[in-house]
Every structure is written in C-alpha cells, then in structure tokens.
Structure 1
C-alpha cells in the first residue's frame, strides 16, 4: 500500500500472484476484525477453551442454581430444620414431582355412605404433600380395606394429576353387645361402628357375649329352628362361649344346651304348642337336660305357688283354714 491506503500493485486479473495475495490479505483483515468483537473464549486455545465450547447452553446458570440449592440444603440440615421442612412439604421426590405438575389436584370418591371423605383420604395416604407418580395404589387399597366398614376398595391413577377411589361398604348385619357396649357388626363379625340410637339399626338381630360376633351362623341356625317362635326372639346370649340363651319379647329366657341346641328348641316348640307355657308367669325355661324341662317362675308366681303348696300341706294334715 501506499501512504493513502492504496495498493501499490495493479488490481488487474492478469497480475501474476495478485489474486492470491489479495485473498489472503482480505482474510487477514476479516479475522482481525472478528477477533476484535468476538468473546475471548473463541480466541483462546487449549483444553479449557475446548471444554467451554462443548458445554451446553445455560450450563453456567444451572450450575449456579445447583450451588445455591446445595447451600440452602446444607443450611437447613445444619440448622435442624430439614426434617421439619420435609414433614411439611413431603419427601424430596414428591416435591420434585409436584414442581413438574404431577401433584394430586383432583380426587373422585364413590360408594361411601357411612364413611367420611377425610377417613378415606387418610387411610389411602393421600394429602397435599403426595404426588401422583409415587402414590402406591396397592398399598392404598390395602389400607382402605383394613377399615372395618370397607369390604372392597379400588384406587386408580389418572395422569397427570387425578385419583379415583371406589369403595364397597360392609352392610350392617347385627348388633353385638359386649363389656357394656353395643356395636354394629357385619355378617363376618367385623365391627362397623359403635351403636347409636338410630332407628335403622334397632331392627337388627342382637347377640350378647364374648365371641358372639364370630358365632352368628350358629345363632341364626338356632333361630331358624324356633319355627313359630322365631318372630318372638329378641336376642341371643353366648354363655361362656359354649351355649346360647335366647331372650323372647316377653323377657323370658330359653336356656339351651351346649350340644344339639336345635333339637332342644324343637322339643320346647312342641310343648309350647300343646300347653302354652309362655303364657304362664315364668321368667326362664331351662332346656339343658335332655329328659326334662325346668321352669323358673316370677317372684309373684313363686310366692303364690309357695302359699298354695303350704295350704295343700296343711289341708293334708286336716287343718281347715
């Protein structure tokens, strides 16, 4: 170039070596110009520069977030607040799942009548801290079916954020009285609820005594054997977990033997048909002996009976009254 920035050689195409010189010269100018504006990482050489070029975009931001997260984690752990944080917000995996939109936001419960929704959710282990991916439906179903009122349960996950729960409740079958308390029980003897003075439950069969709830099948077989007296039976008491005593609507007790109680009851039904024993002033009929029936009178009837017997004795001695 001359002093004015012009090329000293001619720019004609025919100049020997001119095109190559100009091309090299212009490439040098472009590289110098780019070098003055591009970041230093593009101009550096060596392993660090190559590593920087291979890192994904925003790697620095992610590393910075990870650093601050680790710092916060260490601070909570050192301050003893980490356990309280997880207790309030759930496990780390649940926290992450909720952050990505997999929290449980919609729950549908069907089939409940006596159960409360809160009881169902508590038994299934579902609360605001849970997440859908880490909800174990098998464990949730087992925990629901452990409730006395639940016969069957089903739990389904609908991604991204829904759960459906189906409940089949046990039906009240009888009342069981033990240790001074009365319970509503299912056909298998499981306690459903404590009995309250509810008209819906007053008509249920009533069994009394330790173990009576597990002997419902035996009790109802005996009731069926009562034939025409069946409608008059109000309760059955299991005595010493061996034998039954039936209480009738009149308050009379029928004490049945441990062995073959149905045969003894059938014998009494025939006797009642012929002699109307239940119309007498009695409070109990003992059927435990196979060859006889023992009847216990009321206090008034017993007193009258004693007076009558005394009068008979006196009359037999020739004393007139």
Structure 2
C-alpha cells in the first residue's frame, strides 16, 4: 500500500520541468552569418584567399627590401638582350620645327639598352621638357625598335620684352628665342609677362572677329590692360578688366563698321573711359619747298 502510494509521487516529480536546464546562446557572429546571403563555406574560402594574398604581399616586400627582385629583373633583362630584345633602332616621327639633333640625343641614350630596361615614361617626361613638344608617345616595337611620335606646338606670336624676342604658342609657352624680325607675319606681344596673358588676349579678340585679323600687335600696359596695334598704324587703348575691355572692343568694332575709323587720318583711339571715346588725328605735314633749276615749288602730303 505504501509502495503504491509512492509511485504517483515519483511520476509527478519526473514530469515537472527542470529549472536548471540550460538555454542555448547564439553568438553575434552566428547572427551575422544567418543574415548574409552566403554560406559558411564561402566565407571560409574568402578568408583563406585573403590570408594567402597578404602572405604573398609580405613575402614580395621582404624580397624587394633584400634586393632579390631587382637582381632577378636585371638577369631577366640580360637574357632578353641576348635573345635580341635590345634597342637597335630609334624611329622618331612628327618633327618639323623641333631641333632634331636635340631629340635624337635624348632618345638615342636608350640605344643598345635591353628592352625591359627602357623606361618609356621617363623618356616621354624628358621630351616634354622641350618647349616645342606639346605631347610625345613612346612605345617599344619588339624586338629591337623604340618608336617615338612627336606632337609639336604651333607658334602663334612673338613675345618682346626688354629687347629680347621669343616665339610663343597660343598658350604663351616659350618655344625658342629668335632675333628681331624673324617672326614673319606673327603678331607681337610687348611687355613683361605679356605671354602669360596670351590666352586672355585671344579670348578678347574673339569678341570682335572682324578686327582680329587686322591686329598685328598688343602691348601689356602696367600689368593690367592692353593697347592694340592695327596693321594700318592705329593704336587702340582698352580699359582694365576682361569684361570692360571686351565691351570697349565690341563698341569700337561697331563704330568702325559704321564710320570706317581705321585707315583714315586717326592714329590713336582711347576707350578707357566708359562714358566717352577719345580720338587723336595724325599730325599735319607742313608743305616742303623744293628748289629745282631756280624754280621753287611747294609740295604737301605725307610723302615727299
């Protein structure tokens, strides 16, 4: 009877929950892995590649520091030269005004050098230091040719300052020094630092294209404004500032189109005052007496 009474109690004890039962904890890494759309195997593979790459970079850095790669590269270059991969010919194209001797002296320094040892970036950089060269393309043409293509700058004006003359391009870059009178029909820019304002001058003249072809020179005055010289002999004084100068030049072009100011007896136009314009006439030429055979005659005009 007592044994029978103890059995239900034992069943109740077994059926009751255990308050000490442990609850499984999920780490933050596992939570991230469940969110990511990749498997655990993919992550493990990626980590392996990262480790291998980092190790390779480390080993390469150690070898570089120890000079192993440089020695190996020199050996490789020597083998390439023995196999015929050596600069035997240099081809330069695109030269018209460039000093060819100077260019060849620079490029021929690479002759007989193994092709892998030719630093084409350095050769190009050295060529670009020469004022005439706007751009240069240097390439290896295997097995034995170094090809150089030159793009030259075009002379746009003569820059004159303190009795010194230089050819410059449209951007004001000095190409070479020349003697007085060697510029041909190129316009002349006068004044210190006038070349630095060549681009602004071209932009200014573009506002009056009808007059641009008649401008044979310009003087940079006081490092602040331009005086323009026309082929018919007149001078036009423009105000300071790009906007004011452009407006004044455009107004002058309109006046010239209506009244034909150029090519007459006017020699100087001053448009520095935005309210009014000042014109100056050429001085009158006094009659000159010419005696011939006892007869005295009087002539007048600009030429005698």
- Distance in 2 (alpha carbons) for counterparts of 1:161 and 1:280: 66
Following superposition, the deviation at residue 218 of structure 1 comes to 2.1
Cα distance change of structure 1 residues 254 and 117 upon mapping to structure 2, 3 Å threshold: closer
Matched, 1:149 2:132: yes
- Distance in 2 (alpha carbons) for counterparts of 1:264 and 1:121: 49
Matched, 1:136 2:119: yes
Contact 1:171/1:186 (<8 A) preserved: yes
Provide the residue aligned with 1:270 in structure 2.
254
Cα distance change of structure 1 residues 286 and 121 upon mapping to structure 2, 3 Å threshold: same
What TM-score results when the alignment is normalised by the length of structure 1? 0.55
Contact 1:124/1:143 (<8 A) preserved: no
Provide the residue aligned with 2:168 in structure 1.
185
Contact 2:90/2:108 (<8 A) preserved: no
Cα distance change of structure 1 residues 197 and 103 upon mapping to structure 2, 3 Å threshold: farther
- Distance in 2 (alpha carbons) for counterparts of 1:98 and 1:152: 29
- Distance in 1 (alpha carbons) for counterparts of 2:206 and 2:173: 23
Contact 1:283/1:298 (<8 A) preserved: yes
Matched, 1:126 2:72: no
Matched, 1:167 2:150: yes
Deviations along 1:56-76, one digit per CA (max 9) or x if unpaired, are: xxxxxxxxxxxxxxxxxxxxx
For residues 73-92 of structure 1, the aligned pairs below 5 Å read none
Aligned length: 212
Deviations along 1:166-196, one digit per CA (max 9) or x if unpaired, are: 2111222333223323322222221223346
Q: Which has the larger radius of gyration?
A: 1
Among 202, 205, 210, the alignment partner of 1:223 is: 205
- Distance in 2 (alpha carbons) for counterparts of 1:160 and 1:227: 52
Deviations along 1:209-234, one digit per CA (max 9) or x if unpaired, are: 22222222321233233354333221
Among 175, 189, 206, the alignment partner of 2:188 is: 206
Matched, 1:283 2:279: no
What TM-score results when the alignment is normalised by the length of structure 2? 0.58
Among 267, 276, 281, the alignment partner of 1:292 is: 276
Contact 2:158/2:168 (<8 A) preserved: yes
Following superposition, the deviation at residue 271 of structure 1 comes to 3.4
- Distance in 1 (alpha carbons) for counterparts of 2:107 and 2:214: 44
State the Cα RMSD in Å: 3.5
- Distance in 1 (alpha carbons) for counterparts of 2:96 and 2:115: 26
For residues 230-245 of structure 1, the aligned pairs below 5 Å read 230-245=212-227
Following superposition, the deviation at residue 155 of structure 1 comes to 1.9
Cα distance change of structure 1 residues 128 and 249 upon mapping to structure 2, 3 Å threshold: same
Contact 2:219/2:228 (<8 A) preserved: yes
Following superposition, the deviation at residue 163 of structure 1 comes to 1.6
Gaps of 5+ in 1: 1-92, 305-321
Among 223, 230, 250, the alignment partner of 1:248 is: 230
Q: Answer 1 or 2: which has greater strand percent.
A: 2
Contact 1:255/1:288 (<8 A) preserved: yes
Cα distance change of structure 1 residues 241 and 126 upon mapping to structure 2, 3 Å threshold: same
Q: Answer 1 or 2: which has greater helix percent.
A: 1
Following superposition, the deviation at residue 277 of structure 1 comes to 4.0
